[in-house]
């Protein structure tokens, strides 16, 4: 079901940075509000004769979702509006429901740990077979895809920041008829648009950079394929993981500043990554923006920026990393990423994290504070490891 707003078609194809600000506004009617309205209702007046456009009931569709869904679809260069879900995991569950029953799913061995846990649960239930790969190893990934039914892709990966060759891998899945599902949370559509490389479905944790203020849990799925869109919409309606109108309002409000937040955060991340790489108590800084990073050239070829997340090894052990995090004064020790405030977390504290994630790896989700204040905080916290 599509409920288009009153956009008059402009004579120019605006950039994504402009669309994030100007898209999905109810222009064109006298006295129209500047912002997409929020509608709190559970049901809608019915027509005597039902039409395919009837909203019927607010689990099926809600006018509060239309602006957000239209805008995210446009930013991802999709032919259809996005579908918003109550969380990133709800969106991921919907996307994984598309994997053929009993099929083999290739996925990065390092991915968001919620996705890994859900795939493990589906495998235990006999729904699919998981085939983890080093997604930065293109030859190994293509080989794994040869006899697979679906691909789950993350790039850069959470939390190891590995970069996959999106063009090569998505060309292969398209040629072989392998369903491709891409989690684009880390990059956002401003840095990378997987549908353009042939992905079937893009998934977002809208909780993170898209909404940007650590005040909502929300997810979304995007596709240009009408049949997949219908299946995903049907899944959302029946499984019922729908978004609150207020949360979607907050997400769309956050997306208005996506371009400036991301620009500032990734500029900060680039500077902090360089300083961390030169620090004696730090090893193994992972950030695709560093020229020496193994994913640098690939990221430069397929992304228009390197993002706002860094991972680095602090000292020698889990307790070294914990001591650094405990000594932070400005940066908040917390999970999550993509908010305006900088967060730090030792990822291996989660039992669900793969054992190959180093115990002393800190994921730094860089925000938009003054970079000199952020570096002051990191340097004074790392000083606990000296002497
Ligand atoms: C946080 C996150 C998710 C899960 O999203 P929620 O909104 O927390 O349900 C999925 N993928 C990635 C890459 C994430 O960072």
The whole domain housing 323 covers 259-385
Please tell me the distance between residue 385's alpha carbon and the centre of ligand 1 in angstroms. 32
Probe residue for ligand 1, chosen from 202, 207, 345 as the CB with the greatest number of ligand atoms within 8 Å: 207
pLDDT for the residue 10: 75
pLDDT for the residue 376: 98
Domain of 30: which CATH number? 3.40.640.10
Whether 215 and 278 map to the same domain: the answer is: no
- Domain assignment present for residue 329? The answer is yes
Whether 279 and 205 map to the same domain: the answer is: no
**Most distant CA pair in the chain, distance:** 79
Angle (nearest 5°) at CA 122 between 116 and 127 = 140
Atom of ligand 1 nearest to the CA of 218: 7
Instruction: Choose the final residue of a domain: 255, 283, 302.
Output: 255
- Domain assignment present for residue 8? The answer is no
pLDDT for the residue 343: 98
Is 141 a pocket residue for ligand 1 (Cβ < 6 Å)? no
For residues 252 and 261, give the distance between their C-alpha atoms in angstroms, rounded to a whole number.
14
- Domain assignment present for residue 303? The answer is yes
Please say whether the beta carbons of 162 and 108 come within 8 A. yes
Whether 236 and 116 map to the same domain: the answer is: yes
Whether residue 53 lies in the annotated active site? no
Whether 133 and 251 map to the same domain: the answer is: yes
What's the total number of domains in the chain?
2
pLDDT for the residue 4: 43
Quickly count: other Cβ atoms within 10 Å of residue 13's Cβ. Answer: 7
Atom of ligand 1 nearest to the CA of 185: 13
- Say which DSSP state 165 is in: -
Whether 195 and 338 map to the same domain: the answer is: no
Probe residue for ligand 1, chosen from 108, 208, 345 as the CB with the greatest number of ligand atoms within 8 Å: 208
At 167, give phi and psi (nearest 5°): -60, -50
Whether 250 and 376 map to the same domain: the answer is: no
Please tell me the distance between residue 231's alpha carbon and the centre of ligand 1 in angstroms. 22
Whether 303 and 206 map to the same domain: the answer is: no
Is 112 a pocket residue for ligand 1 (Cβ < 6 Å)? yes
Domain of 377: which CATH number? 3.90.1150.10
Whether residue 275 lies in the annotated active site? no
- Domain assignment present for residue 5? The answer is no
Please tell me the distance between residue 112's alpha carbon and the centre of ligand 1 in angstroms. 7
- Domain assignment present for residue 10? The answer is no
Helices H / strands E in the chain, number of each:
13, 12
Q: Which of the residues 25, 66, 131, 208 is marked catalytic?
A: 208
- Domain assignment present for residue 296? The answer is yes
Probe residue for ligand 1, chosen from 87, 94, 96, 114 as the CB with the greatest number of ligand atoms within 8 Å: 114
pLDDT for the residue 66: 96
pLDDT for the residue 8: 58
What is the model's pTM? 0.96
Is 89 a pocket residue for ligand 1 (Cβ < 6 Å)? yes
Mean pLDDT in runs of 10 for the chain (387 residues)?
Answer: 49 94 86 92 90 90 96 98 98 98 97 96 98 98 97 96 98 97 98 98 98 98 98 98 98 98 98 98 96 98 98 97 98 98 96 93 98 98 91
- Domain assignment present for residue 4? The answer is no
Q: Which of the residues 183, 200, 322, 377 is marked catalytic?
A: 183
- Domain assignment present for residue 2? The answer is no
Q: Which residues contact 117 (CB under 8 A, 6 or more apart)?
A: 352
Instruction: Choose the final residue of a domain: 240, 255, 270.
Output: 255
Whether 293 and 323 map to the same domain: the answer is: yes
> By C-alpha distance, which of 83, 203, 193, 214 is closest to 152?
203
List C-alpha distances in Å: 275 to 359, 367, 382: 22, 16, 12
Whether 336 and 380 map to the same domain: the answer is: yes
Is 158 a pocket residue for ligand 1 (Cβ < 6 Å)? yes
pLDDT for the residue 26: 82
For residues 112 and 98, give the distance between their C-alpha atoms in angstroms, rounded to a whole number.
19
Whether residue 208 lies in the annotated active site? yes
Is 110 a pocket residue for ligand 1 (Cβ < 6 Å)? no
Whether 245 and 277 map to the same domain: the answer is: no
Residue nearest to atom 1 of ligand 1 (CA): 205
- Say which DSSP state 39 is in: -
Torsion of CA 239, 244, 248, 253, to 10 degrees: -160
Whether 228 and 264 map to the same domain: the answer is: no
Whether 210 and 161 map to the same domain: the answer is: yes
Q: Which residues contact 102 (CB under 8 A, 6 or more apart)?
A: 126, 127, 128, 129
Atom of ligand 1 nearest to the CA of 91: 9
């Amino acid at each position: 079901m599509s409920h288009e707003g009153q956009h008059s078609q402009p004579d120019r194809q605006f950039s994504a940075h402009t669309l994030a600000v100007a898209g999905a506004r109810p222009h064109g009617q006298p006295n129209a509000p500047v912002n997409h309205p929020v509608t709190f209702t559970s049901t809608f007046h019915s027509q005597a004769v039902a039409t395919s456009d009837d909203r019927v009931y607010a689990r099926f569709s809600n006018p509060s979702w239309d602006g957000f869904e239209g805008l995210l679809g446009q930013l991802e260069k999709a032919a259809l509006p996005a579908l918003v879900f109550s969380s990133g995991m709800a969106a991921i569950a919907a996307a994984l429901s598309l994997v053929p029953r009993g099929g083999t799913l290739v996925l990065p061995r390092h991915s968001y740990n919620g996705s890994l846990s859900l795939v493990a649960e589906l495998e235990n239930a006999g729904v699919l077979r998981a085939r983890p790969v080093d997604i930065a190893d293109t030859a190994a990934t293509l080989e794994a895809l040869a006899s697979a039914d679906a691909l789950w892709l993350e790039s850069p990966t959470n939390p190891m920041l590995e970069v996959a060759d999106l063009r090569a891998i998505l060309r292969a899945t398209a040629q072989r008829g392998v369903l491709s599902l891409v989690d684009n949370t880390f990059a956002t559509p401003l840095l990378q648009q997987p549908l353009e490389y042939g992905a079937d479905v893009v998934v977002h944790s809208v909780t993170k950079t898209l909404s940007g203020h650590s005040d909502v849990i929300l997810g979304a799925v995007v596709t240009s394929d009408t049949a997949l869109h219908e299946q995903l919409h049907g899944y959302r309606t029946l499984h019922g993981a729908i978004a609150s109108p207020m949360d979607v309002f907050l997400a769309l409000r956050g997306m208005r500043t996506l371009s400036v937040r991301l620009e500032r955060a990734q500029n900060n991340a680039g500077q902090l990554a360089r300083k961390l790489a030169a620090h004696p108590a730090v090893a193994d800084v992972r950030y695709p923006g560093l020229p020496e990073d193994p994913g640098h050239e690939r990221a430069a070829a397929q992304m228009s920026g390197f993002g706002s997340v860094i991972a680095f090894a602090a000292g020698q052990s889990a307790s070294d990393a914990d001591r650094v995090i405990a000594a932070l004064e400005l940066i908040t020790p917390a999970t999550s990423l993509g908010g305006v405030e900088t967060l730090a977390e030792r990822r291996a504290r989660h039992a669900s994290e793969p054992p190959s994630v180093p115990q002393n790896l800190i994921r730094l989700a860089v925000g938009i504070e003054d970079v000199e204040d952020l570096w002051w905080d990191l340097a004074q916290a790392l000083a606990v490891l000296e002497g």
